[in-house]
Copies of this chain bind each other. A is one copy, B any other.
Amino acid sequence: MKTKTLSFRRTVNNSELSLKDVGREVTLSGWVHRRRDHGGLIFIDLRDRFGLSQVVFDPTKEKRAHEIAESLRSEDVITIEGKVSARTEGMANPNLKTGEIEVYVEHIEVLSKAKTPPFSIADEHIQVNEELRLKYRYLDLRRPGIPEKLVERHKAMMRIREALDKENFIEITTPLLGKSTPEGSRDYLVPSRIHPGTFYALPQSPQIFKQILMVAGMDRYFQIAPCLRDEDLRADRQPEFTQVDMEMSFCTVEDLFPIIENLCHEIFKDFSSQEIPKTFRQETFEWCLENYGTDKPDLRFGMPLKRIDDIAKNSSFSVFLNVLESGGSIKGICVKGGADISRKGIDEYTAYVGQLGVKGLAWMKYQEEGLSSSIVKFFPENEQKALIERFEMEKGDLLFMVADEPKRVNQSLDHLRRKLAKDRNLIDPDALSFLWVTEFPLFKWDDEENCLTTEHHPFTSPHYDDLDLIESDPLQVRSLSYDLVINGYEVASGSQRIHNGDLQAQIFKTLKISEEEVKERFGFFIEALSYGTPPHIGAALGFDRLIMILTRTENIRDVVAFPKTQKATDLMSDSPSAVPSELLRELSLEIDV
């Protein structure tokens, strides 16, 4: 069969035709989505990325085309020429954009035949095993679900670039083949052939390069940057991920926050009918931990943690009293209407926090007759009243309390709070909650190494009000770093960097890093900082996570065109794979399994 040269150039795509096109001669191309034979006529739903069109083969009019149509199978690629007709009364499909018309075929070319796919493309509601979907990603992408998310991803990239370009940011591509450094997570290495025995490292982030660009005077940089980490993967990680990376000179958070807030506006403006606040709420790290037990609280729902040390100490409940005596603390959360949770339900929540290392989950229900539970009797009436007031309890509510060391109290109640929100459907899927978390501590104590270390990296600036504390009480020093939390996910992280050589030296001294060690560990970067460094501030946004929130999926593989499994395998191309031994010889490498 000789291919007809131009016939496959469609004149419209499969979502465009409507009643106003009736009578028009058109060329349509696409995949055979479904075929139905009805009393001589053959109906085909023709599919492309844009939609479906119904095309009709009438044996009494176009015998040859009808014969070809009889041989068509799902996923064959065809092109047809024909005339647009209105569907007969009652046959219109209101669920389809092109549902009021059909095209009577005059000419058909089969462009490409298809083998039977390993899963149905047309039956979109059939659940297909994810491994099979990944192996045949090109067929998975023909079904609804992923393609729309990739389009959203593209649109978000466009909007981010436009917004940052308007603010005078320049997108600069930084190298993929970089320097291996011992900081951070594990690098992917790339052996050099030209320099035997040496390696490049793929970037975990462009952090060093973006700071270098500020030293270079580029003023405002951004990049939608590929980053790679050779980690043992968790469910929501990929070995390759994408970061919206940015840095700006002679600026502070007062400049940076509005820019990122605007980016979020651009990305999320069509997310729901709910309005996004122009500026985002800001809370300190300490406030978040106290009130939500985490530095990334999901504020789409309430149920804050309340401390009740003062009430508990007036009770005679020995569990609480013992915890208080040993320096622990007690917090609780109030579950609105939670009195309907059965004893079995409460046991399950107790087991849930038990997995997080918490010994028990105390509870009280507020019912007609007042608070009730096996421990109510240990609380004098006044203290019962105090509890009701603190948690603003109403009849029908349930109070959960955890007494333990402070860290564990926070962690378990944070998890419990989020589990309850899920179980009780407290989260409006249309809601977005944006929160800046500020004033993270600069230092932390490393119990293993028994020394002071930094929360982020040693180039993060201390809070200017806390400079006097660096020597006297370093653990109290707040930093100028901040996270953006959306719906309980840490989506962006950034900091003001140190630009002053004296201050930088003081930080290294506090960390007990000698000048020699500084040189060895931070190499050319520390040299670069010594030639006149502007004050600069920057952030990195986890782009995949942003798109996950935007497209309402919990699966990172849904927002990546060709994702890898948790074993870092590409099932489609079967990669990684063995390579010929000549290649390894060229790289001066031997495998030693």
Give the B-binding residues of A (Cβ under 8 A): 1-3, 5-6, 8-10, 29-32, 47-50, 75-77, 79, 111-115, 117, 136-142, 147, 150-151, 153-154, 157-158, 161-162, 165, 170-180, 182, 186-202, 208-209, 212-213, 215-219, 226, 228, 230, 232, 239-240, 242, 249-252, 254-255, 464, 467, 499-503, 523-524, 528, 530-535, 560-562, 564, 567-570, 572-580, 583, 586-593
Contacts and interface: CB of A to CB of B under 8 A. Distances in A.
Nearest to A571: B524
Nearest to A79: B250
Contacts of A192: 568, 576
B190 A188 contact: yes
Contacts of A216: 137-142, 147
B194 A501 contact: no
A502 B588 CA distance: 44
Sorted nearest first, the 8 A-B pairs with minimum C-beta distance are A114-B532, A141-B216, A179-B575, A179-B573, A198-B576, A192-B576, A75-B532, A138-B216
27 contacts: A3-B467, A3-B503, A6-B252, A9-B254, A77-B535, A114-B531, A138-B531, A150-B170, A150-B172, A158-B161, A158-B165, A177-B239, A177-B575, A178-B573, A178-B575, A179-B577, A189-B190, A189-B579, A189-B583, A190-B202, A191-B191, A194-B232, A194-B567, A198-B577, A199-B579, A200-B576, A589-B592
Given A528-B138, A576-B198, A49 B217 contact: yes
Contacts of A215: 138
A534 B31 CA distance: 8
Contacts of A532: 31-32, 75-77, 112-114
Contact of A218 (B32, B117, B147, B500): B147
Contacts of A165: 154, 158
A337 to B, nearest CB: 45
Contact of A500 (B3, B177, B573, B593): B3
Contact of A176 (B202, B217, B255): B202
Given A31-B532, A589-B591, 13 more contacts: A2-B464, A31-B534, A49-B217, A141-B213, A142-B217, A173-B560, A174-B562, A177-B564, A191-B191, A192-B576, A197-B578, A199-B579, A524-B573
A530 B562 contact: no
Nearest to A172: B561
A445 B438 CA distance: 67
Nearest to A588: B593
B48 A219 contact: yes
A242 B573 contact: no
Given A115-B531, A138-B531, A218-B150, A9 B252 contact: yes
B574 A218 contact: no
Nearest to A464: B5
Contacts of A77: 499, 532-535
A358 to B, nearest CB: 34
Contacts of A111: 499-500, 533-535
Contact of A592 (B209, B572, B590): B590
Contacts of A200: 575-576
Given A189-B579, A196-B593, A209-B562, A175 B240 contact: yes
A250 B8 contact: yes
Contacts of A464: 2-3, 5
B112 A501 contact: yes
Nearest to A49: B219
B577 A180 contact: yes
Nearest to A217: B142
Among A79, A171, A182, A464, residue most surrounded by chain B Cβ atoms (within 10 Å): A171
A29 to B, nearest CB: 4
Nearest to A142: B217
Given A10-B250, A561-B213, A593-B196, A177 B570 contact: yes
Contacts of A153: 172
B179 A574 contact: yes
A194 B568 contact: yes
A593 B197 CA distance: 7
Contacts of A576: 177, 190, 192, 195, 198-200
Contacts of A198: 576-579
A219 B79 CA distance: 15
Contacts of A528: 138
A33 to B, nearest CB: 11
Contacts of A186: 193, 583, 586
B176 A176 contact: yes
Given A197-B578, A250-B8, A533 B112 contact: yes
Contacts of A501: 112-113
Contacts of A467: 2-3
A157 B580 CA distance: 38
A561 B174 contact: yes
A8 B196 contact: no
Contacts of A162: 158
A26 to B, nearest CB: 13
A173 B564 CA distance: 14
A558 to B, nearest CB: 14
A523 B562 CA distance: 17
Contacts of A32: 532
